[in-house]
Amino acid sequence: MAAPRALVFDAYGTLFDVHSVVEAAREITADPQTLSNLWRQKQLEYTWLRSLMGRYEDFWVVTEQALRFALRRLGITAAEAQVETLMSAYLTLAPFPEVPAALRALAGMPLAILSNGSPFMLERAVRTSGLAGAFAHVLSVDEVKVYKPSPRVYELAPRALGVTPGEIVFVSSNAWDVAGAAACGFITCWCNRSNAPAEELQVAPDYEVDRLDAIRERLGL
């Protein structure tokens, strides 16, 4: 394994807590966690389905479509203003508590984001979370018009950073995302926050942590 020369992070679920929308969802349902869970599930499903169908729409559109489906599926009545409030919450997701310190500890090498998020969503999330300036690159699938785990997405990182995939540590809390990066030759680190079992995809992460601030010690950086 080559010595790492850069680290690339997934955004949603890895740096930013997608379920921090729960607070905004309390206005329209007594069970905001169920709404948040289904919203996230359909959001990911729609990215995979759109990639397979060759019918790309950016992540903001996909996120709204997933929200509207989840509301209908759960029988929740929401005014358009309430839908807009929930969508706005996705632009100001809270970072996981350890993220700022973890990024500061890793600042000795180039850091980047590689995300399904659209450019304006990522810009807002990075800025409102106080992480502006932490990343050399914020890369969006919008550049290639297909979603993870397409190899075309992962190719964006070595191209931007000027190193090979085998010199990049790709970090994600999504096991399927880690599998996609591993299949493309990256060094991979799975942030397994929920102690979930590994995916049966015939690829395994090189490293596993339960918090991002464990990465430096775990990788010996």
CA distance 180 to 44: 14
Q: Quick one: which of 3, 34, 1, 4 has its CA closest to 19? A: 34
CA distance 87 to 20: 12
Q: What is the dihedral of CA 39, 45, 49, 52, to 10 degrees?
A: 140
Contact 95, 67 (CB under 8 A): no
Task: Tell me how far apart the 2 most distant CA atoms of the chain are, in Å.
Answer: 53
| Two tokens, residue 104 | 């500061």
Contact 95, 207 (CB under 8 A): no
CA distance 209 to 191: 5
Among 10, 17, 142, 213, the one annotated catalytic: 10
| Two tokens, residue 204 | 């395994």
Identify the helix (H) or strand (E) that includes residue 219: helix 215-219
Active site (annotated) includes residue 17: no
Contact 157, 139 (CB under 8 A): yes
Interaxial angle between packed helices 59-73 and 32-53, expressed in degrees from 0 to 180 and rounded to the nearest 10: 130
Q: Catalytic site residues? A: 10
